[in-house]
A and B are shown apart, each in its own frame.
Chain A
Amino acid sequence: MRKLEEVLQDWEAVIGLEIHAELTTLDTKMFCGCKLEFGAEPNTHTCPVCLGMPGALPVPNRAAIESIVLAGLATNCDIEKHSMFYRKTYMYPDMSKNYQTTQGPVAFCMRGHLDLDVDGAAAKERADLDGLAVGESRGNVTRTTDGYTAHVGITRIHMEEDAGKMVHIGGGEGRIAGATHSLVDYNRAGTPLTELVTEPDLRTPEEARLFMQKLRQIYLALGISDCSMEEGSMRCDGNVSLRRRGAKEFGVKTELKNMNSFKNLHDGLAYEICRQAEVLEEGGQIFQETRHWDPSKKRTIVMRVKETADDYRLFPDPDLAPYDLTDEWIESVRAKLPELPDQKAARFEDAFGLTPYDARHLVEHRETADFFEACMELAGDEAAKLAKPVANLVINDVTAYLNAQDGVKLADTALTPARALGLVKLVAADAISSKQGKVVFAAILDEDKDPDAIVAERGMEQVSDTGAIEAVVDAVLAANPDKVAQYQGGKTGLIGFFVGQCMKEMRGQGNPKLINELLAKKLG
């Protein structure tokens, strides 16, 4: 198969996403009073309603409707004042009533959008930006200095209930094939679930990943879901089709499932685009089918072929009266909107003079954004001066550490805003080198000590005394007359050798900037 970048030169990928998010931060289920709790003993959070016992009736959870309206407001949706719940029929044991209560043609949230900032390597997948000047737009894309902005439409966000969980016993890897029997856990049944459907506005796997990331940041900022892709509280299906560059007609699409991480979302779509291109280039045909992304084998496999559209026999749920939202209520929800990631990034740029890139990456996670802000508060008058190095520390070192630690919360580590700021100040004042800074950073986390104490204990204070450094520089030059001659003969690469020798003499504590300056001057 050809590489994605090559394929996208010839083909345009048309991608739409369906993103489910469970409203995990609520206390109770969508239509009954059962507690929401992940990981409880199977079938302990159930009642006649979520078990679909005869005679049980649903009662909607108002808090869930407030949550979805928050999501709609945060994604620029129109909030529909009059909407209904519908019954979607499908017979399967994970759906106790054998119909899912969901919404019909009119959802609570309709016609929204998100603007994606795509930059750096992520922007390289987009192959149709040639000749587009900064600030110029084409289709849903506007060129920016370091990439482009894509305007992605949101068709709707609707409210529904989640199904129970099936476990198949006796087959391989819990799969139904070869299983002798299946077990159902209804703890998840009836969990309030939102489904967001995008317009087919995405053109690259990176855009799809960024959309999902941005939506996740927004939902986390709203506090409506824990958005755990691993535990399945946030799930994404992708629809993808190809058409020749310049073509207007959509191709046949496939639906992709099991993309339970940002990486899998990207890689699954990338694989599927390349697979479809190969099939089409060989004169083959794409079938409308559901495919499963297998991250270990790095390929998609057919789950089922859709010959005809499923007939869900959707009709208005007579147990649930139509929902009428008032303007006053919608405004009261709007008043509860917290600062959203885009707004926070803009504020960071304004208040601390950060670049859009730094600001955007800081707000990717609420904990890093909050941490940065705590540092800035402690910095007081020096905030503007220290913003850039603090941002770098957070975006690079802290993020890398947290990623490596897998699941550790920043608040649970030994790194406090005061310690981070102390470290940044030491480097900024040239008291230690940036290389030493990395050592101190690791030591703070490992030994749970303040940066000053670590520097003192290890005798790491950087020597910035010009006299002391000059003496060492002179001694090194005197000891290596042949190298000096070579340098002066044009082998300027030897500067690294001299710096290294001086550093060795000073046991790593010499200020590299001063050493470089003095060497340059003396070697002149």
Chain B
Amino acid sequence: MNLAGTHTTCSSKMLENYVSPFTATCVERTIAAGGIPLGKLNMDEFAFGSSTETSAFGPTRNPWDVTCVPGGSSGGSAAAVAAGLATVTLGSDTGGSIRQPGSFCGTVAVKPTYGVVSRYGVVAFGSSLDQVGPFARSVEDAALAMNAIAGRDVLDCTSQDVGTDFTANLAEGVRGMRIGVVPAFMEAKGLTPEVKAKVEEAAEHLRALGAELVEVELPNAQAAMSAYYVLGPCEAFSNLARFDSVRYGYCDPGHTDLNSQYEASRAVGFGPETRRRVMLGSYLLSAGVYDRYYYPAQQVRTLITQDYARAYEQVDCILAPVSPRTSFKFGEVSDPTDMYLSDMFTISINIAGNGGMSLPVGLGADTHLPVGVQLISPAFKDENMFRAAAALETVYGTAPVAPAFADGKAGE
């Protein structure tokens, strides 16, 4: 996120020395609302990852267990709140990059409906999927942050006026709310028993608080991952084309022709995961291939959006897991496709464009690491998930600072 006069590196060697000439709308609005920028936080390089391990400047550690990853890509933002270093942080979420680290670090983490928060000044990964949102230790703090950053921005023509006070219905409770549960999500391969148990426990609490639980089907949601790994890399390939060493960014020295300067600067400036996504996008958009991948992926996107629209005819909000598991050790997940599975419950929400948030519900029975549950709103009804989250928070309490950092300790 650009803040004029500060380094905006996207955790990439490509932008190691890049200083922002302007400020992102979400940052400007946070400052205008009285926020004080404390600093920039670590992330996976250009947001490509789920653990901060792809950062060119080294990973962030999880405050709950420093041998574990904080999640990602916005891992630094989640860790900073979990460690009590900041009251509110901002991150961006393209497939789960706010919600998954929120779940891993035990913080409230919000990915609003696409269009609620301006993307102007936020370095783009997947322009049709990216959305900015806050991390906080309470639902109310997150709602206050949303009040500050949400709304139409003339500099982002995909942003919209929302006119919502996100704090308005936090005290209303869930009596009368219909909350959906997706059986296919709960039976998904890879969902660990401790996370599944936590989601079921949260469902029971919601029922006890007066909500009606309704089973809903999202028949095409299992195709979300495939569509995402077509659309995301295509947009990323295009968005990252500007990092060419000409106007700014890493420029490999000593080249006498343009193409070799381009190639070497991008080969050195981009890390392996970034290069992988750029190559994938370049291939998927190429002539002859486009029709077989990009176009069907857009059709899948329409089907998933329709699935959610149908589900929201029956319910006001959906309860789901955030990540299939709790945080893992550094280096534990080395196969990129296994890493991609971290987002299996979050990606379809970016594909459909509606809002989702992670709410901390305590520690997993087996790993004793934080678990988050996901509340998912219809598009532009983000207040629904805030209302359900606030009700659950009355049961679980606001998110604690990670014990090693509590009471002024610094994680020793």
* Chain A interface (Cβ < 8 Å from any Cβ of B): 48, 51-60, 87, 89, 91-93, 96-99, 184, 309, 311, 313-315, 317-321
Contacts and interface: CB of A to CB of B under 8 A. Distances in A.
B302 interface: no
B285 A315 contact: yes
A318 B247 contact: no
B8 interface: yes
Contact of B128 (A48, A51, A318): A318
10 contacts: A52-B247, A55-B2, A55-B24, A55-B122, A57-B124, A57-B157, A59-B157, A60-B157, A313-B286, A319-B158
A318 B294 contact: no
B157 A320 contact: yes
Interface string B1-14: 11000001010000
Given A57-B119, A321-B158, A51 B241 contact: no
Contacts of A92: 258
A26 B333 CA distance: 55
A56 B124 CA distance: 9
Contact of B21 (A48, A96, A98, A317): A48
B126 A318 contact: yes
A103 to B, nearest CB: 16
B2 A98 contact: no
B241 A97 contact: yes
A53 B10 CA distance: 13
A53 B127 contact: no
Contacts of A98: 241-242, 244
Contact of A315 (B157, B238, B243, B258): B238
B238 A87 contact: yes
Q: Name the residue among A51, A54, A57, A92 with the largest chain B CB count within 10 angstroms.
A: A54
Given A56-B120, A321-B158, A51 B247 contact: yes
A57 B156 contact: yes
B290 interface: yes
Given A48-B22, A59-B155, A320-B157, A97 B122 contact: no
A28 to B, nearest CB: 13
Contacts of B248: 53
A55 B123 contact: yes
Contacts of B15: 54
B235 interface: yes
B154 interface: yes
A164 to B, nearest CB: 10
A58 B155 CA distance: 7
A53 to B, nearest CB: 6
Contacts of A314: 285
Nearest to B126: A318
The 6 closest A-B pairs by CB, nearest first: A318-B128, A98-B241, A313-B285, A318-B127, A54-B123, A55-B121
B11 to A, nearest CB: 13
A238 to B, nearest CB: 25
Interface string B128-139: 100000000000
Given A57-B156, A318-B127, A89 B241 contact: yes
B4 to A, nearest CB: 10
Contacts of B126: 318
A89 B238 contact: yes
B282 A313 contact: yes
Contacts of B21: 48, 53
Contacts of B24: 55
Interface in B1-46: 1-2, 8, 10, 15, 18, 20-22, 24
A11 B1 CA distance: 62
A87 B24 CA distance: 23
B127 A59 contact: no
B3 to A, nearest CB: 11
B117 to A, nearest CB: 13
A54 B8 contact: yes
A97 B124 CA distance: 12
B158 A91 contact: no
B14 to A, nearest CB: 10
Given A48-B21, A56-B120, A315 B234 contact: yes
Contacts of A58: 157
Given A59-B154, A60-B157, A318-B235, A311 B120 contact: no
Contacts of A97: 241-242
Q: Name the residue among A51, A57, A319 with the largest chain B CB count within 10 angstroms.
A: A57
Contacts of B155: 57, 59
Nearest to B129: A318
Given A55-B123, A57-B157, A315 B128 contact: no
Interface in B24-78: 24
A160 to B, nearest CB: 16
Interface string B215-234: 00000000000000000001
A319 B242 contact: no
B339 to A, nearest CB: 24
A260 B126 CA distance: 40
Nearest to A317: B127
Q: Name the residue among B15, B234, B237, B246 with the largest chain A CB count within 10 angstroms.
A: B246
B16 to A, nearest CB: 13
Contacts of B20: 55
Contacts of A54: 2, 8, 10, 15, 18, 123-124, 242-243
A313 B265 CA distance: 22
A58 B120 CA distance: 9
B405 interface: no
Contact of B242 (A52, A57, A317): A52
Nearest to B285: A313
Nearest to B287: A311
Interface in B280-309: 282, 285-287, 290, 294
A48 B2 CA distance: 11
Given A54-B124, A55-B120, A98-B244, 10 more contacts: A55-B123, A56-B121, A89-B238, A97-B241, A99-B241, A314-B285, A315-B290, A315-B294, A319-B157, A319-B158
